[in-house]
Amino acid sequence: MKNYDTLLKDLTPRKFGKRGTIWTVFLLLIIIAGLIAYIDQVIKGQVVTNMRDYALWGIYISNFVFFVATSFVGSVTVAILRLTNNSWRTPLVRIAEIITLAAIVMAGVTIMIDMGRPDRLLNLFIHARLQSPITWDVIIVPTSIALSFLLLYFPLLPDLAILKKHFKKTKPTLSKWYGKLALNWEGSKAQKAIQEKSIKIIAIMIIPVGIMLQTIDAWLFSTTYRIGWDSTNMGAYFISGAFLAGVGALITVVYIIRKVRRLENYITDYHFDKMGKFLGLAALTYLYFNINEYLLPIFTAPVEEDIHLNALVSGEYAGLFWFSQIVGLLLPLLIVLFNKGRKPGPMFIAGIMVVIGSWWKRYIIVTPTLLHPFLPIEGVPESWHHYFPSLHEWLITAATLAMALLMITLFVRYLPVIPIQRTADERALLKTDKNSES
């Protein structure tokens, strides 16, 4: 029982200290600034961005792609690791589920920000054309949101019941809320049966749904004729990119939560070692795809592809391109190849590098292609030949990232970041084993 009490004390959500409050207020300020900028955009039109007729998609879209990619972490860690019986995933799955839900919800919000006429949103449902990749996106994103929510909720039920009991005396209203959300969970055989069957279904479903989500996202680009986008490779490329971005985000968030909540006993060096190897696998796959995408055209490239490649490798976008490749892929890969590199500290650095590198990598995917059209850019102001986001775009994008982080923060504040019931079950099993052994 003593062990169980310690477990509860460690894992139940706590009120924020000074650090937590400052962090939340900081996020709220960014969100408010972004909202003001967005209202200005709705009033004045998207002229407040630096997008113009040639750079017609900018960081709103690359941000959207980033969110979609990050939301793949649910499929990867929760489902794939479960189906391959990797039991070390247990302390990490809740965080992975939280990241997935936050990312996919923010993906839906971000894409609406990019619409020129957000007031006509319903047209996407009333007049939808199945031939358009955007319609497929409109279908798959809500499906993913629903599924990610269920992925988080079903395993959460036992923990909500535990929290209701735990807070009954100290925080009665909070306890009542936990109770409502726990859906009368008692741990009975019948309930467990339904829960387990549901989780199994979700775990199986979320892999094809996640793959479909990433593929449709890729097809938004590869269904056009444009250089750099018109690639049969795009679907697989995006899936591997999402794999990498998702694991990177997971490592980063896990490290921070572990430090803030002092969960060193639950998320150990062993877990970081495993995640490091996982990240290595993702990075190697992504490296393979990048070689196919960027190295191969050196051999035979039509004029336009040649121009595009040169702009990326040694031209206007060289800085960002090499940054996203080195910082986002090669350095993290290097770090995880070593045993010492797979310790928590270096892993955190690798994770952050992957996240930042992925964000800029998606900028490299979206913008340079648009500025290399087939026919010359003429008769338009000189500024239209280039693109760098405006203040409005930065504020709004920062606000979406802040909203995602705020969602994660609120989850951490009110929900147990490590599944309590499951951990208890696993440790109890271990204890009985130990008892039987000794």
Partner 1 sequence: MNFISKSQIKLRFVLLASISVFLLSTLVQSLYAQDTEKNSVRLKANYFKIMDSEVYFNIAASSRIDRQNVDVANIDIIITNEIEDEEIELGKVTTNMKGEAKFVLKSLSAMRPDSTGLYTISMSFKGNDAFKRASKSISFRDATIKANLITKDSVNYISATLLDTAKDSILSDQLLNVQVQRLFRNLRIGKEFNSTDENGTILVPIEEGIPGVDGNLTLEVVLNDSDDYGTVKALVKAPLGTPIVDESTFDQRKMWSPRNKTPLFLLIFPNLIIFGMWAFIIYLFINLFRIAKT
Partner 2 sequence: MEDNNKNSRRKFLDKGLKLGLVTAIGGLGLSKIATKLNAKNDEHSGEKMELMTTDGKIVQVDSSEVMEVTHSEDYDTKYNVREGFPNRKFVMVIDLAKCKNALKCVSVCNKHHYVTGENAWIKVHKMQESKDTAPYWMPRTCMHCDKPACVTVCPVDATFKRRDGLVLIDNERCIGCRFCMAACPYSIRVFNWSEPGQEITLNMDHDTSMEKPMHASPDYAGLPSVKGTVDKCDFCPHAIKDNILPHCVTACPNGVFYFGDKYEDTVTNGEETLRLKKLLKDKAGYRLLEELGTAPSVYYLPPVDRLVDFEDGMENYTEFQSVEKPGEKTE
Tell me whether residue 135 or residue 285 sits nearer to partner 2 (CB atom). Answer: 135
Scored b (16 or more CB within 10 A) or e, 315-331 reads eebeebbebbbebbbbb
> With binding defined as CB under 8 A, does residue 208 bind partner 2?
no
Backbone phi and psi for residue 179, each to the nearest 5 degrees, phi listed first = -65, -45
Cα gap 400→64, rounded to integer Å: 10
Selection from partner 1, partner 2, none that 209 binds (CB < 5 to 8 A by kind) is: partner 1
Residue 157 site contact among partner 2, partner 1, none (CB < 5 to 8 Å, cut-off depends on kind) = partner 1
CB closer to partner 1 out of 183 and 430: 183
Residues 337 and 273: beta-carbon distance below 8 Å: no
Largest pairwise CA distance in the chain: 84
Q: Could you give the CA distance from residue 252 to residue 31 in angstroms, rounded to a whole number?
A: 22
Q: How far is the CB of 74 from partner 2 (least distance, A)?
A: 26
Q: Smallest gap, in angstroms, from Cβ of residue 122 to partner 1? A: 15
For tokens 């290595």, the residue is 280
Least distance from C-beta 119 to partner 2, angstroms?
9
Can you tell me which of 9, 197, 386, 431 binds partner 1, judged by CB under 8 A? 197
Q: Which of 143, 175, 268, 292 binds partner 1 (CB under 8 A)?
A: 143
183 binds partner 1 (CB under 8 A): yes
Told to check if 83 binds partner 1 by CB under 8 A, we report: no
**Residue among 84, 85, 87, 131 that touches partner 1 (CB under 8 A):** 131
Note the residue count of the chain.
438
Give residue 13's Cα distance to chain centre. 23
Identify the residue among 2, 381, 436, 437 touching partner 2 (CB under 8 A): 381
Task: Give the DSSP per-residue string, 276-326.
Answer: HHHHHHHHHHHHHHHIIIIIGGGTS--HHHHHHHHHHHTSTTHHHHHHHHI
Q: How far is CA 142 from CA 78, 99, 179, in A?
A: 20, 16, 27
With binding defined as CB under 8 A, does residue 374 bind partner 2? yes
Q: How far is the CB of 375 from partner 2 (least distance, A)?
A: 6
DSSP 233: T
Contact pick of 38, 167, 178, 185 for partner 1 (by CB under 8 A): 185
Which of partner 2, partner 1, none has residue 146 at its interface (CB below 5 to 8 Å by kind)? partner 1
Residue from 195, 231, 292, 310 in contact with partner 1 (CB under 8 A):
195
Task: Choose the one of partner 1, partner 2, none that binds residue 381, judging by a C-beta under 5 to 8 angstroms depending on kind.
Answer: partner 2
With binding defined as CB under 8 A, does residue 9 bind partner 2? Answer: no
Is there a contact between 393 and 58 (Cβ–Cβ < 8 Å)? yes
Q: Is 2 in the site for partner 2 (CB under 8 A)?
A: no
- The tokens describing 413, both together, are 């504040």
Q: What string of H, E and C letters represents the secondary structure of 389-408? A: CCHHHHHHHHHHHHHHHHHH
Footprint on residues 104-143 left by partner 2 (CB under 8 A): 114-118, 120-121, 123-124, 127-129, 131-135, 138
Please say whether the dihedral angle defined by the alpha carbons of residues 321, 324, 327 and 333, taken in this order, is positive or negative: negative
**In the 8-state DSSP scheme, what is residue 417?**
S
Question: Is residue 300 close enough to count as binding partner 2 by CB under 8 A?
Answer: no
> Pick from partner 1, partner 2, none: which does 57 bind, CB < 5 to 8 A by kind?
partner 2
Residue 32 or 134: which CB sits closer to partner 2?
A: 134
For partner 1, the closer CB: 120 or 259: 120
Q: Which does 114 bind (CB under 5 to 8 A by kind): partner 2, partner 1, none?
A: partner 2
Residues contacting 265, CB < 8 A, separation 6+: 10
Contact between 357 and 282 (Cβ < 8 Å)? no
Task: Tell me if 150 contacts partner 1 by CB under 8 A.
Answer: yes
DSSP assignment of 57-110 equals S-HHHHHHHHHHHHTTHIIIIIIIHHHTT-GGGHHHHHHHHHHHHHHHHHHHHH
Question: Which of 8, 109, 124, 139 is the binder for partner 1 (CB under 8 A)?
Answer: 139
Secondary structure (DSSP) of 11-37: HS-----HHHHHHHHHHHHHHHHHHHH
Q: What part of residues 91-130 is at the interface with partner 1 (CB under 8 A)?
A: 127-130
Instruction: Look at residue 434 and give the partner it binds from partner 1, partner 2, none, a contact being a CB closer than 5 to 8 Å depending on partner kind.
Output: none
The token pair that represents 303 in the structure block = 């004029």
211 in contact with partner 1 (CB under 8 A): no
The radius of gyration computed from the CA coordinates of the chain, to the nearest angstrom, equals 23
285: buried, middle or exposed (CB in 10 Å: 19+, 13-18, 0-12)? middle
Number of other CB atoms surrounding residue 254 within 10 Å: 25
Interface ranges with partner 1 (CB under 8 A): 127-131, 136, 139, 143, 146-147, 150, 153-154, 157, 183-186, 188, 190-191, 194-195, 197-198, 201-202, 205, 209, 212
Which parts of this chain interact with partner 2 (CB under 8 A)? 44-47, 49, 51-54, 56-57, 114-118, 120-121, 123-124, 127-129, 131-135, 138, 220, 223-226, 370, 373-382, 384
